[in-house]
Structure 1
Amino acid sequence: ESAIAAYQNALEVYTKSDFPIDWAMTQNNLGNAYINRIKGDIADNLETAIAAYQLALLVRTPEADPINCLTTSRNLGNLHFTQGNWQSAIIAYQQAITAVELTRSWSKDDDRRQEILEDGIGVYQNIIQCFINLLQYDKAVEYVERSRSRMVTELMASKDLYPKAEIAPQLLEEYYRLQQLLFNLSHPNSLGTFHGMSLTVAESRFYRGFSEEVEKPKLAEIEQIEAKRQEVWRKIRTSDPVLADHLQVNPLSIDQMQALIKDGETAILSFYTTEDDTYIFIVRQQDVQLYTCKGQGIETLQNWIFNNYLKPYVAYRNNQNPAWRNNMGEFLQQISQHLQLNQLISKHLSDIKELIIVPHLFLHQIPFAALPLNNLTISSTDTRLSPNGKKTTQPPAKLKTPEIKPTYLSDKFRLRVIPSCQILSYCEKRNKSTDSPKMGIVENATGDLIFTGYECQNLAKMFQVPNNFRLKYEQATVSNYRQLTKQVQILHSSHHATADLINPLESRLHLFDGQVTLANVFTWRLPELTDVFLSCCETNLALSRKADDILTIAAGFLSAGALNVVSTLWAVDDFATSLFCLFYYQHRQNSNYTRPEALYSAQLQLRNLTGKRLDGEYRQELEAYLQNIKTDENKNRVGQMKYYLALLCGQDYPFISPYYWAGFVSQGLR
């Protein structure tokens, strides 16, 4: 009561005409006081609060005062929301969202833009809920789309709307110079470590770096150079037309989303998790439907995924704990149950053959292709070799294969997984020729992978790749890689890569003399490039924050100009990946196969490949290849690989586990 009296007294001095800012602030505070008032009629107090907020918004407009407009309009929207006045809440939240997006457009700093969106994400969540409560699913999914993947979307807008707005060469040169200097300081004897004994650690295409501790004087120098590099990066980003000119990228309408669906047998599945539930929007050419996974909210679904899947994966990638791989089948079965896939399919997808999946938060890291639709799972025994040549786990003579195999989501639907519909829309608008495409290959840049050579020599024959478009080992430098991306339509990148889960802009491709980071790729414009296959580890791995901006190497190549990128969700097996790539491109050479069809066919071919067929059709060629690459330095390693090959040939279905085939994702055009 005292606060209300004080605010009312203040309003006798703070008039709208003489002190508009103070008057609006006091009206907002008065509204807050009436919401919390105990004395008097509740309905009257709420009406008075609404009137006070509305008066404050006469001054606190999105254009004049967006930050305070967000505060007051959010207060007003929340008041209506708690009272179940959905339409009135929507009006207030729309004004709040205008304020959020206008404030973002005024900032030239990526981190600050991300913070602004994350601070306002609750407004998006509530307006989505309002539209759902009103059964206006088309409007709800528009705001779902509007809140996600903004950084990548804005980068694509810059490059597509301003194709000649190149970054100042001197800025790029300085950035690359500082990055190379950092690499040299952090990896003092890197070239020597790529030979000989280093071969014993490369069963997967995940790069674990070097274990030597950096000396303290060097550490101080590294920190100074890193600070300079970050300063140059900020200058590069502020030269971006969207940031420099305070432009706002228009969000997609439902009509524009539906235009991405090319036939009546395709649907978009857009996932969205709130505190309480996960919503699955089913967007077809003519309508939008909704399936609700009740009780599957942030804690029960998203945090559960983080604790039971992503944290064990981090332990696995660091060679500390095999639980992630061994428990994969059981976990994926549980995910299918959490998402109620069978009920979703029977209710909404019985006539659908292709799905464009837009995940939310940690669902981006789930291999949708391997979500089982029956109660069968495949166990996975880790048969990777340790540095001394012994298996980390002694496998049985034959892994048990059930007589009835699991049926997966990818067996029922062709799948594409995209960060957002707007990213797919930009890919579709690009007018590129796919006739007589030239392929470029980047191969085994660090020299410690065994089977990438087998993979790439076969691809070179298949596509008649000239030697100058095939960068092997010491030819796979940062500079040569950059030039190759400008010259080809199809890029096959087969070497080590690492996702940085703390700073995703530092996720990187490992090359002979340095690294290509996601930040580097974000600066590229590749108008000729159509297809990228990142035959590396973790090129589609990232931990999503509240704003659901998935910053991965794969997203970087889509931003740079690619129409489609095949990438990986985890540290993939070297040998299985080599076979998978060959199967994929064999199917892609058939003009009747779309990219998702080729991906599924390769997955099916790999998982159904029997040990007997591996022995009869591939073993002789593979052993000849291993013999051909054998040297005094790697002869022990080659011998281990021959043993490994013999072990796989003795299994019924050596690659039946989703670990081998489900980590590959097709993003972009079909």
Structure 2
Amino acid sequence: MAAVRRGVVACPGCSGQMLVEQRLVVDVAADADFAASLARGDLFFFTCRRCHTTLQIPHPVLAYHPDTLPKFLFVGERGSHQRDNLELALELAGTVIGSGPVQIAHVDLSTLAGVVAGPWAARPSQPAADDVTDVPPPTGTALERLSALYQRIGDPNDDERLDENIALCRECLDLLAAEGAEFVDPAALVNILGPLYFTLRRSRAKRLLDSLRGSTVATVREAQRQLEELGAECDQAADPVQWAEIQSLRGTAHLRLGELGHRDEYAAGRALIESAVAVLAEHRPKTESLWAAAVNNLALAAFYGRESGDDVELALAIWHRLEEQWTEPGDIRNRIALMMNFDLAYSVRTEGTREENQRRGIAYLQAALEMIDGAAQPFLWGMVNNNLAHTLTRVAWGDRATHLEAARHHLAQAESVLTPAGSPVEWGMLQANFGVYYAGCQTGSHVDNIERSIACFGRALGVLTKADHFPYWAYAEIGLASVLLERGRWGGEGRPREAARRLEEVLAAPEIAAHGELRFRAHYVLGSARSQLGDVEEALANYRQGAALLRPESNPLEWGVIHSTLSLALRERAGGDRAADLDEALAAAEQAVQSIDRAAHPMEWGMVCYNKALIHQFRVDGGFAEEGDQALAAYEQALAILTPATAPTLCAGIATDLGTFHGSLGRWPEASAAFGVAVEAYEASYGSTELGRSRATEVRQVGVGYSLAAYAAVRCGDLPAAITLAERGRARTLRESLGHPDLARVAEADPGAHAAYRDADNRVAEAERLLRDVWIARGGVTPADVQSWENNLAADAARARRDRADAAARIRLLPGFADFGASPSYPSILRAAGHVDALVYLLTTEWGSVSLIAGEPAEVVFHEGVRFADLAALVMPGEGEDGLLAGQLFGSARFRGLLGTLAGSPFARVGHELGQVLRRRGCHRIAVVAFAPWNLLPFHAIAYQGRSLLDDFEVILPPSAQALSVCHARREAAGPASLLAVGDIDGVPQAAYEIAAVTAEFGAAVVGAKPELLARPAGVDHVHLACHGRYSLTDPLESELGLGGGTLTVREILDLRLFEDVQLVFLSACQSAISDVLDARDEAVGMPAACIQSGAAGVVGTLWSVADTTTALLAAEFYRGSGHPAARLRAAQLWLRDVTAKDVLARLAGKVPRDLVGLPLMDPSERPFADPWFWAAFVFIGG
């Protein structure tokens, strides 16, 4: 039994997979934080790295201290039989002391926490269980016992000892009741202890109501019970002030329940407080603080129980009257509460302008901060900062960016004092406010900010619950749903179904009826989620319900935003009167633009202009050609605000749509200019990202934008610019990690610059390794810990990237290194093209496909009629249909037939048209940078009019020109060839035959399994892997090879730099050449790119599942050949295609494997492997 246990569980927050590590055996002496983790209660809480949600998973724990061995403390598996727990405890103890005798003390969690944190840890040399003792009861006469008990009662104002003091006071009263005859004047003693007992219990009830301490429905209900007991003990006639105070507190309890979603409690609370105010007013100024608190709460009852704006005005009138009449300046806490209530009321007031009301609320909070001594009252100071930040994030006037940064300042102040343990509700709201800040933040990477926002809302929901904190919980749920949708909108992994589920739960709660603004937000975001899911009618219903809750004069921003979104939903509506829908959509879009103040909300105004442009564009496509100029004007208005500098992610998407619109109208110079803006924005957005997953999100969009820009440049006649754009958008993450082919020469020219570059490059690689590593959730690691770790790691990576860029700039100053580390340029592409006879970029757009041939001059081949939609339908057709990708991954029955239909098709004509030009140019070896989805097609092997590219050319498929150069430089440094062959002998029937066949062609060969591969002998520069392969569609980094002795994943290859100095990796495995075409169309994310990134000069892989014996035959023929790997692969493929049954039998020397049992029965001249299914899957990637 190991000391830790790992398992995969589903995260309840984001539905992702968490790898959880449970500590089963703990050395208390070595783990100083164990006791504290037990005391905090977070030992059994595990945090998701993705969304920072915490999941409670109780598990067994065996604790020990070296000085107490062989004694152990053990908490068993919940619900397990005691015998099973004993066996588990003994097994775990054996990992510490072997087979010797042990003493197991079974305890529950609370006992374990007390023992470990207390005497056992403090005096480890003593037996653990015997150290837990209570204070002995007092002895002696009744008076002596009473005196001893009374002296143990601490400071009545000591909140930490409140429960203990109540218990001691109760013991004193019980002793007086039982043995009163022993005292001279027991009534006098009761008169002393009785009020103290009452005061202590009142303080306990107030503590249960305190929102700073995280009051919940359960704690408030308990406070109500206690206050009713206290109320029954009060005599209104004898002590009216005491009675009024309890009445006020009982009313406050009803208010708390109302705030927590039980709206029907407000009326009862209001009645109780009114009765208290009447009494307390008669006894002013002695009761000034109590009276002020009661009046404050009376106004709150009117405010929270409001049925209309009149109730808000009533509450404000009461508070203003209280402000005027209050005569106790020293009552800071109540005055601060009053000021926060003013902000609360002014934030929802409908009388007057919104700016005027918000300014008043902010002024009150700023005045409150000036009154508070942050050191003396940290919780109060933090709460006011939190509230002020909340208001600033919702400001509807002035410069939004300025207000957001002011909010960030106050959030940081609040964060310095509010903790999840000390003030869980306020801390949860602080995290939710951080989520709102990051969602709207206009600085840094938008994608980074969305990820941070998701994490913040996840932390908020870790402490805010529906049952106990309804409005706060709903606020965080709506915020999280909103940013989950925003993530998907800009290329990340959006979760509209999860967002819809969360919002439906919010709107289904009866408590939501009391919260109009939350209802509006929930309907608005739910409409967006349903729109993304294609439920247009339901989305429209939500938008209309949300809009009905607003008035344009009171909520111009929200009103404008929801009408803008409503217009887009009307555009997508399939049923109903189409013309009427489009008219309503245009009217809503125009109303939105008019409603929002451009100066106050430039970002929102820019977005509604963009939406209006989309409506006009759609109407142009629907026959309203005259609206084209209006669409272009709206696009220009949006891009005047949302620029590459101010909002790069938003700008990139809008400019891409504008360029596409120009392209659809044949305005290619205008399209090229718009795509140029998009490219500039992509560069700015990608450059500002720090988080690893955010950079992955950015590259999903980059290649598409560059492809469109390249196509527009082609249509404008600028082929060098088109080729340069294509290269810049291709395999960006691989480009960053490959370094530079001239790095070895840099060491000779400037050793210091070389060392600085290598050091920074290694730090980048290490940071990226840590960011992509599988996250192991460990107990006690809090969301704040995860956030801090990620922030520090992202900062380290950003710092390393800057250092690498600085070192590259220094190197570029050296003679002969002007292009080092710079963005690809046409001259650098031409240098790469010099390694082959032709360097070709094959890309596709919605207007068609082109082949761009780099050179002087450059050349273009147009492939009319082959659009991206055509390729997408081939690779991934509609639901229920088998496409090329499904066949490649799962081997569908239709795949072989589908592959056969490609011969003579328009897709095959692309290779034919390219081949005609390349033959005219006298080419023999070509490199084709194939953009998605071309990189999934064996386009080089598909015959058209009886011939394919492979018949005439050696074909290399490099991820980019830079990769071609780097791989070429690695290949030129080759020494004598030596092979390591690794096969899954048990899993692949013909692996042994294949290994024997390929090693026979090498003079120096080593055969092994995964351990031998990981410890590759020096000098081995060829690696042949004969095994099963599996491409992971959902996580390409988890794509794996099933080797003898274990699996090998893409993540391991990258982390270990497994193929440093390897000339060739032959991946004789299924699906080993597939790249991520779903999330990163023009990146190179898969097994071949990982091999190159980890040091290999070239890779042979397969595009689909291949037959074992034919693979072995092809591999043996490959190694029998000589020359460039592309030449050898071409020769082996053509040999396999053309070989006769007679020649195959001769090659097998009479040993016919099971999958070729029919071969001897064939006509000797028949070609058994002529079908491309057998040989076309193999491709060479590298240089």
Q: TM-score, normalised by structure 1?
A: 0.69
Tell me the equivalent position of 1:451: 990
Match of 2:1014 among 451, 461, 482: 482
Q: Deviations over 1:289-309 (max 9, x none)?
A: 222222211222332243499
* Counterpart amino acid of residue 509 in structure 1: L
Q: Deviations over 1:129-174 (max 9, x none)?
A: 4312211122122222222322332332499764771689999899
Structure 2 segments unaligned to the other structure (5+ residues): 1-586, 744-756, 806-820
1:267 and 1:123 mapped to 2: Cα distance? Answer: 25
Tell me the equivalent position of 1:464: 1003
* Counterpart amino acid of residue 762 in structure 2: A
Match of 1:66 among 635, 648, 659: 648
Tell me the equivalent position of 1:359: 930
Q: Deviations over 1:302-328 (max 9, x none)?
A: 322434997366358646x43322453
Q: Deviations over 1:590-624 (max 9, x none)?
A: xxx2222111111222222222223334324x36x
1:458 and 1:490 mapped to 2: Cα distance? Answer: 15
* Counterpart amino acid of residue 601 in structure 1: A
CA contact (8 A) 2:645 2:684 kept: yes
CA contact (8 A) 2:832 2:962 kept: no
Match of 2:801 among 228, 239, 245: 245
Tell me the equivalent position of 1:255: 827
Matched, 1:530 2:1070: no
1:69 and 1:280 mapped to 2: Cα distance? Answer: 29
Q: Deviations over 1:46-67 (max 9, x none)?
A: 897687567x35xx55345434
Tell me the equivalent position of 1:397: none
Match of 2:1176 among 650, 662, 665: 662
CA contact (8 A) 2:902 2:908 kept: no
Q: Per the alignment, do residues 349 and 232 of structure 1 end up closer, same or farther by CA in structure 2, a change over 3 Å counting? A: farther
CA contact (8 A) 2:707 2:729 kept: no
Tell me the equivalent position of 1:571: 1105
Match of 2:682 among 91, 100, 107: 100
CA contact (8 A) 1:530 1:562 kept: yes
1:414 Cα deviation from its structure 2 partner: 1.4
SS in 1 for 2:869: helix
CA contact (8 A) 2:843 2:849 kept: yes
Matched, 1:411 2:951: yes
1:266 and 1:74 mapped to 2: Cα distance? Answer: 34
Matched, 1:154 2:699: no
Mapping of residues 257-656 of structure 1, within 5 Å: 257-262=829-834, 266-283=837-854, 285-307=855-877, 311=883, 314=886, 318=890, 321-339=892-910, 341-347=911-917, 349-350=919-920, 351-375=922-946, 407-430=947-970, 433-444=973-984, 446-465=985-1004, 469-471=1006-1008, 476-477=1009-1010, 479-484=1011-1016, 488-525=1020-1057, 526-545=1059-1078, 547-588=1081-1122, 593-620=1123-1150, 622=1151, 640=1154, 643=1157, 646-647=1160-1161, 652-656=1166-1170
CA contact (8 A) 2:928 2:957 kept: yes
Q: Per the alignment, do residues 369 and 124 of structure 1 end up closer, same or farther by CA in structure 2, a change over 3 Å counting? A: closer
2:1092 and 2:591 mapped to 1: Cα distance? Answer: 58
1:575 Cα deviation from its structure 2 partner: 1.0
CA contact (8 A) 1:455 1:581 kept: yes
Tell me the equivalent position of 2:92: none
Q: Deviations over 1:99-122 (max 9, x none)?
A: 222222332444433433445666
CA contact (8 A) 1:500 1:542 kept: no
SS in 2 for 1:292: strand
- For this pair of structures, how many residues does the alignment match? 550
1:482 Cα deviation from its structure 2 partner: 1.8
1:553 Cα deviation from its structure 2 partner: 0.9
SS in 2 for 1:130: helix
1:76 Cα deviation from its structure 2 partner: 6.7
SS in 1 for 2:989: coil
CA contact (8 A) 1:53 1:73 kept: no
1:430 Cα deviation from its structure 2 partner: 4.2
1:87 Cα deviation from its structure 2 partner: 4.2
2:687 and 2:789 mapped to 1: Cα distance? Answer: 19
2:613 and 2:973 mapped to 1: Cα distance? Answer: 63
* Counterpart amino acid of residue 991 in structure 2: T
Structure 1 segments unaligned to the other structure (5+ residues): 180-220, 376-406, 624-637
1:560 Cα deviation from its structure 2 partner: 0.8
Matched, 1:165 2:762: yes
1:90 and 1:173 mapped to 2: Cα distance? Answer: 39
CA contact (8 A) 1:62 1:102 kept: yes
Tell me the equivalent position of 2:138: none
1:292 and 1:174 mapped to 2: Cα distance? Answer: 42
CA contact (8 A) 1:443 1:494 kept: yes
1:450 Cα deviation from its structure 2 partner: 3.4
* Counterpart amino acid of residue 975 in structure 2: D
* Counterpart amino acid of residue 602 in structure 1: A
SS in 1 for 2:902: helix
Question: 231-240 or 352-361: which moved more?
Answer: 231-240
1:557 Cα deviation from its structure 2 partner: 0.4
1:559 Cα deviation from its structure 2 partner: 1.0
Q: TM-score, normalised by structure 2?
A: 0.41
CA contact (8 A) 1:432 1:530 kept: no
Matched, 1:139 2:682: no
RMSD across aligned positions (CA):
4.6
Question: 521-530 or 643-652: which moved more?
Answer: 643-652
1:268 Cα deviation from its structure 2 partner: 2.1
Q: Per the alignment, do residues 460 and 112 of structure 1 end up closer, same or farther by CA in structure 2, a change over 3 Å counting? A: same
2:1051 and 2:1024 mapped to 1: Cα distance? Answer: 20
1:517 Cα deviation from its structure 2 partner: 0.8
2:898 and 2:591 mapped to 1: Cα distance? Answer: 63
1:563 Cα deviation from its structure 2 partner: 0.9
CA contact (8 A) 1:615 1:649 kept: no
Mapping of residues 182-197 of structure 1, within 5 Å: none
1:126 Cα deviation from its structure 2 partner: 4.2
Mapping of residues 78-117 of structure 1, within 5 Å: 86-87=668-669, 89-117=671-699
CA contact (8 A) 1:441 1:456 kept: yes
2:687 and 2:983 mapped to 1: Cα distance? Answer: 41
CA contact (8 A) 2:1121 2:1128 kept: yes
1:317 and 1:326 mapped to 2: Cα distance? Answer: 15
Question: 99-108 or 65-74: which moved more?
Answer: 65-74
Q: Per the alignment, do residues 94 and 295 of structure 1 end up closer, same or farther by CA in structure 2, a change over 3 Å counting? A: same
CA contact (8 A) 1:599 1:666 kept: yes
SS in 1 for 2:1016: helix
Question: 323-332 or 575-584: which moved more?
Answer: 323-332
Q: Per the alignment, do residues 483 and 292 of structure 1 end up closer, same or farther by CA in structure 2, a change over 3 Å counting? A: same
CA contact (8 A) 2:690 2:797 kept: no
